[in-house]
Amino acid sequence: MRPTLSRTAIVLFFIACFILLYNPAWAGYSAQDDYYLWLEYDIKNGPPDSPFFKLLYIYYGKRPGDKNNLQLLNKVEAFYTFGAKDASGRDIYYKQNIIKLGDRYAVKVQSSERRWCQVVVKAARSADNGRIYDYTAKTSFFILGHLEQAYLDKLQYGKEVHPLPIWMTMPLKVTLSDAKKRILTSWRSIWRKGDLYAIKDKELGPAASLDTKLDIALDRERLDEPDNLDHLIYFSPLRFMVSFNGKPLGLRNVRVVSEEGIEKQITTDRSGECVYIAGKQKINRDFQELFLIEDISGARVYRNVYTVPFKDYDLFYDEYAQFPLFELRGGFGIFLAAFILAVLASLYLRGRFRA
Amino acid sequence: MKIFRLRYILQIVSFVVLLWGGYFGLRFANFLPNWTCPLTVYEKEAGCYLMPLQRLQYGVRRDPQEELAGVFCFRDYSVIWKPWKTYLTFFGAIFLFVLLSNKSWCGWLCPFGTLQDGISGVRKRLKIRETVFSEGTKKQIKVVRNIFFAMFIVPVLVLLFSEVFMLPNQKLVQYARFPHARPFYCNLVCPAKTIMRPIEANIARPERYSNNMHRFFMYKFSAFISGIVLVGIFFRRRFFCYFCPILALLNLFHRASFLRLKKKQSSCTRCGNCWRACPMDIKDIYENKKDEDIERGDCVFCLKCVENCPENNTLSVKFFKWKLFVSARKYFFNLKSRIK
């Protein structure tokens, strides 16, 4: 054999080996083995909160921005809870239907009163290599954040928000607080003569038990002040707790993936806790980040994603807190310059100062 | 009760309620939309200088604990105005207010007016001479006021007509959500927006105070205007009222008001006390020898002229045909605080 031919054959042999080695089918895994299941808020079309509804899109893929592959999963189940607990102290979850909106899948939760809510979507997949992938997507939020946006909701959700007569929303059995509410509501509606938007609570679906082995939980209270998820702000420290079968998972990596697919890593401490502070977003006032965690137990691979919506409320956010009061740039300089100029101009124009 | 005492009391009550009422559950924007800026329906942080409280109303309500503290805040229901209704109520309420009480908002209730009075009081204590504007300067200032008024009203009308002529809802919503949908005047000029913020110290959350202070300097052009206005207020009584577009807005309807300022020409001695007492320096009130109706466009209806008139039954405030307050020699000589 000629030397060039033999060299070409060797190169071709290695290329073939390389291809075979990295061929998912030959190597015994599929492309889906890198996939995660996560929930996304529709931030681009509006802020991630609304008075009555919360729409969460379900994605299945590698990272945000990928094509949604949810149809590849056979059984996807959605649950939600408003935080009620049963006798044994476990959260009572209710099943919720998954709806298809265009080419996307979503879960919609609604409530007529301000409530904390958690949505969990679960799915499982058996891979060709015998492994079973167990996916959990989770997020929590407040419903009824902006009362003043009900009108916008009416535009968005149309028929689902009805202007209702007050009496229809009142319970038959009138308690003292109901009576007070009824009097004040009527009084106010007379004053304002506005549209009264009210929705009845959606019928709660069948209660379901939710068995989540690998769990990532977010402290509902921020660390620095008694606030809640509704006020998540940039720089606001969040505390996560990672556990498996109820036991804390210490020294475990948690991947934090932004909407743009930029990835960071944080590590839990020995008690399974980790603290995360989001970076300042220059463009988006509202954004979301995914917290990914994985654990392998025998042939089962558990993948859990927690979606955290971040918001910037000017009121609750002290952008200049790091600067001492009189080291302000820009605005203060302009104010001071205008003030001094005005004083000088007045003194010059007035001629004399005292009466 | 002396009129000036009643005015001081009302000014202070109004100042406290409108600025800090939100902390005690008195959130008028939830309850009475009348005096709130129609463009701040979707805004959380906007603070109208008519009602600086408004910022708080949309703000503190977001805190669940404080939300429950609100007297008129309901957890289950939400009463929301469609934009055109908001505008209609806004202008309707202003018309009704002017119809019943003329421009007494400016003289008796406006928190920024009260602040101006307070600063002028300090100047008087320091015995610093007041700056006097010439008639020519006042005319030039009126032009500036009209420009400010146009900046204030034009975006409101544009939004109103965009809804009336059925622009696609989604676009309107997006525009309404856009922070710059506020009138240009509010964004660019309004000094009360910046000056009032440090005063609206958040009692419920003192740690937020520095944020409020920093907001003072957030709007650069407003900060520039504020510097000038603060100096102006110090040297001239009711300095900003000369420029205020709300005074121009109230002036649109003031001729229809039932509350009138009248002058009996026959008993006027042209002493000029009314003019010297007037915070707006309206010379016409004593120079005019023909008209019975003496109220002018710059008038803020503080009634200091009536208080300081030494002639019996010469200046009076009438509601329809009923005289509410009449100048009297005895009242004048009993008055402790004399002119200036």
pLDDT tens, residue by residue, A3-53 = 677 878 888 887 876 676 565 555 545 677 788 999 998 776 655 555 567
pLDDT (tens digit, 9 = 90+) per residue, A170-226?
Answer: 445 555 665 655 555 544 443 343 344 455 455 566 777 777 788 888 875 444 433
Report DSSP state, residue A73: -
User: Does the pLDDT at position A143 exceed 50?
Assistant: yes
Q: What is the pLDDT of residue A287?
A: 80
Nearest C-alpha of chain B: how many angstroms from A242?
Answer: 28
Q: What is the pLDDT of residue B11?
A: 94
The rounded mean pLDDT for chain A is 72
Note if the pTM is more than 0.90: no
Proportion of chain A above pLDDT 90, given as a percent: 10
Cβ pair B210, B112 in contact under 8 A: no
Contacts of B63 in chain A (CB under 8 A): 227, 231
The H or E element that residue A136 is part of is strand A132-143
Q: What is the pLDDT of residue B242?
A: 94
Of B141, B236, B243, nearest in space to B192 by CA: B243
The torsion angles phi and psi of A301, rounded to 5 degrees, stand at -110, 120
Distance CA A140, CA B70 (A): 26
Residue with the bigger pLDDT between B56 and A272: it is A272
Q: What is the pLDDT of residue B190?
A: 82
The rounded mean pLDDT for chain B is 73
Distance CA A79, CA B296 (A): 67
Contacts of B187 (CB under 8 A, 6+ apart): B180, B219, B222
Cβ pair A268, A251 in contact under 8 A: yes
Contacts of B81 in chain A (CB under 8 A): 151, 192, 194-195
Distance CA B213, CA B228 (A): 18
* Residue A283's pLDDT band (cuts 50, 70, 90): low
* Residue B54's pLDDT band (cuts 50, 70, 90): very low
Hey, are the CB atoms on B77 and A185 less than 8 Å from each other? yes
Parallel, antiparallel or unpaired: strands A98-101 and A104-110? antiparallel
- For A:79-138, CB contacts with B below 8 A are 112-114
Kindly identify which residue of chain A lies nearest to residue B77, measuring between CA atoms.
A198
Distance CA A314, CA A331 (A): 17
Contacts of A352 in chain B (CB under 8 A): 129
Query: Sheet of A98-101: strands edge to edge?
Result: A36-41, A53-61, A104-110, A98-101
User: Does the pLDDT at position B13 exceed 70?
Assistant: yes
Q: Which of A147, A189, A225 best tests the B interface by mutation, with the highest count of B CBs <10 A?
A: A147
Of A173, A230, A165, nearest in space to A200 by CA: A165
Distance CA A199, CA B248 (A): 42
User: Does the pLDDT at position B144 exceed 90?
Assistant: yes
Hey, are the CB atoms on B210 and A325 less than 8 Å from each other? yes
The H or E element that residue B139 is part of is helix B135-164
Nearest C-alpha of chain B: how many angstroms from A228?
Answer: 9
Hey, are the CB atoms on B42 and A152 less than 8 Å from each other? yes
Hey, are the CB atoms on B129 and A350 less than 8 Å from each other? yes
Q: What is the pLDDT of residue A179?
A: 60
* Residue A135's pLDDT band (cuts 50, 70, 90): very high
Strand, coil or helix: B79? strand
Distance CA B105, CA B97 (A): 8
Proportion of chain A above pLDDT 70, given as a percent: 60
Contacts of B198 in chain A (CB under 8 A): none
Distance CA A57, CA A313 (A): 24
Q: What is the pLDDT of residue B46?
A: 39
Angle between helices B220-235 and B111-125 (to 10 degrees): 50
pLDDT (tens digit, 9 = 90+) per residue, B210-220?
Answer: 444 545 555 66
pLDDT (tens digit, 9 = 90+) per residue, B153-200?
Answer: 876 776 666 656 655 444 544 444 444 445 677 767 888 877 876 776
Give the count of Cβ contacts less than 8 A between chain A and B.
Answer: 173
Q: What is the pLDDT of residue A274?
A: 87
User: Does the pLDDT at position B98 exceed 80?
Assistant: yes
Residue with the bigger pLDDT between B33 and B245: it is B245
Of B14, B64, B94, nearest in space to A116 by CA: B64
Parallel, antiparallel or unpaired: strands B322-326 and B315-319? antiparallel
Nearest C-alpha of chain A: how many angstroms from B54?
Answer: 13
Distance CA B264, CA B293 (A): 9
Parallel, antiparallel or unpaired: strands B78-80 and A195-198? antiparallel
Contacts of A184 in chain B (CB under 8 A): 72, 74
Contacts of A287 (CB under 8 A, 6+ apart): A43, A258, A259, A281, A309, A310
Strand, coil or helix: A91? strand
Contacts of B55 in chain A (CB under 8 A): 315
Contacts of A51 in chain B (CB under 8 A): 78
Q: Which of A116, A334, A341 best tests the B interface by mutation, with the highest count of B CBs <10 A?
A: A334
Q: What is the ipTM of this complex?
A: 0.73
Residue type, B35: W
DSSP secondary structure of A288-312: EEEEEEEEEETTEEEEEEEEEEE--
Cα torsion through A47, A53, A59, A65, rounded to 10: -20
A327 CB near a chain B CB, below 8 Å?
no
Parallel, antiparallel or unpaired: strands A93-96 and A76-81? antiparallel
Q: What is the pLDDT of residue B22?
A: 56
Distance CA B55, CA B68 (A): 18
Cβ pair A68, A61 in contact under 8 A: yes
Q: Which of B57, B72, B79 best tests the A interface by mutation, with the highest count of A CBs <10 A?
A: B79
Distance CA A253, CA A263 (A): 12
Proportion of chain B above pLDDT 90, given as a percent: 28
The H or E element that residue A81 is part of is strand A76-81
Token pair belonging to A12: 């071709």
Distances (CA, A) of A8 to A11, A14, A17, B63: 5, 10, 14, 72
User: Does the pLDDT at position A122 exceed 90?
Assistant: yes
User: Does the pLDDT at position B44 exceed 70?
Assistant: no
Which of B44, B169, B216 is opposite residue A315, by nearest beta carbon? B44
Nearest C-alpha of chain A: how many angstroms from B238?
Answer: 16
Q: Which of B58, B76, B89 best tests the A interface by mutation, with the highest count of A CBs <10 A?
A: B76
- Beta-bridge partner residues of A118: A81, A140
A228 CB near a chain B CB, below 8 Å?
yes
Average pLDDT over residues B104-116: 91
DSSP secondary structure of B294-326: ---TT-----HHHHT--STTSEEEEETTEEEEE
Q: Which of A331-335, B47-51, B75-79, B179-183 has the weakest average pLDDT?
A: B75-79
Q: What is the pLDDT of residue A9?
A: 85
Contacts of A115 in chain B (CB under 8 A): none
Kindly identify which residue of chain A lies nearest to residue B71, measuring between CA atoms.
A184
pLDDT (tens digit, 9 = 90+) per residue, A225-267?
Answer: 333 444 455 556 778 888 888 888 888 889 999 888 888 888 8
Q: What is the pLDDT of residue A104?
A: 86
Token pair belonging to B289: 């020898």
Contacts of B127 in chain A (CB under 8 A): 354-355
Hey, are the CB atoms on A155 and B169 less than 8 Å from each other? yes
Q: What is the pLDDT of residue B339?
A: 47
Hey, are the CB atoms on A335 and B169 less than 8 Å from each other? no
A255 CB near a chain B CB, below 8 Å?
no
